[in-house]
Amino acid sequence: MSLASHARDIIESNLYLVLSTVDADGRPWTSPVYFAPAGERDFLWASETTARHSVNLAERPRVSFAVFDSAVEPYHGRAVYADAEAVEVPAGDVERALALYPRRDGRDVTLLTRDDVTAPSGYRLYRASVSDLWVLCPRAPREPCELHGLAKDHRARVR
C-alpha cells in the first residue's frame, strides 16, 4: 500500500480532525472539528465565527492538524499530520463546498444547508488547503516498516 493510499484510508475512515491554531500572543489552541475531505488536499468543516480557533485562523491562517484513529490498540498508530492554510469559504463558493461536505462513503452524514453557514447564522464553512502531509509510517509493533526499515514510530511525507 502506498503512503498516499494509506493516508486516504485514514482520512476516509475518521470523522474528526484535531485543528491547531495560534492566537496573537503565540499561544496554541487545539480543537476537534467534524470534517469532510474535499479532494486530495482540501478539508472542510463548519464552526462558529466566534469560536477561538475561527478567530485565530482569521488573523493567522497557517494551521496544522492531525487525523487519527483513536480506536486502534496502543502502538498500532494510524495518523495523518498536515500543515495547511485555512480560510472561511467565500459565500460564492458555499454551494459547491456543501456539495462535497456531507458525503462520506456515499452516505449523507450531516444536513448542513447554505443558511446554516451564511449570514445571519453565526456558523461558517472553512477550508484548509494542505501544503505538507505526513503519515505515521505503517508497521507492526517492534517490526521495521517496509519503506524505511525503521523499527520505531516515524512520520513519512506523502507526495
Task: Give residue 36's domain range.
Answer: 3-157
Cis amide leading into 37 (omega within 30) = no
| E strand segments, the chain | 16-22, 28-34, 36-37, 42-48, 62-68, 79-88, 103-104, 107-108, 123-136, 155-157
Question: What mean pLDDT value characterizes the chain?
Answer: 91
Q: CA 159, CA 156: separation in Å to the nearest integer?
A: 9
At 4-27, the pLDDT tens digits run 999 999 998 998 999 999 999 999
CB-count exposure of residue 135 (10 Å: 0-12, 13-18, 19+) = buried
**123-136 and 155-157: which strand pairing?**
antiparallel
The confidence score (pLDDT) of residue 40 equals 84
Query: Which CATH number fits the domain that encloses residue 131?
Result: 2.30.110.10
At 56-107, the pLDDT tens digits run 999 999 999 999 998 888 877 899 999 999 999 999 999 988 887 655 555 5
In the chain, the number of structural domains is: 1
Least confident of 23-32, 42-51, 93-102: 93-102
pTM of the model: 0.90
The confidence score (pLDDT) of residue 106 equals 56
Least confident of 70-79, 103-112, 120-129: 103-112
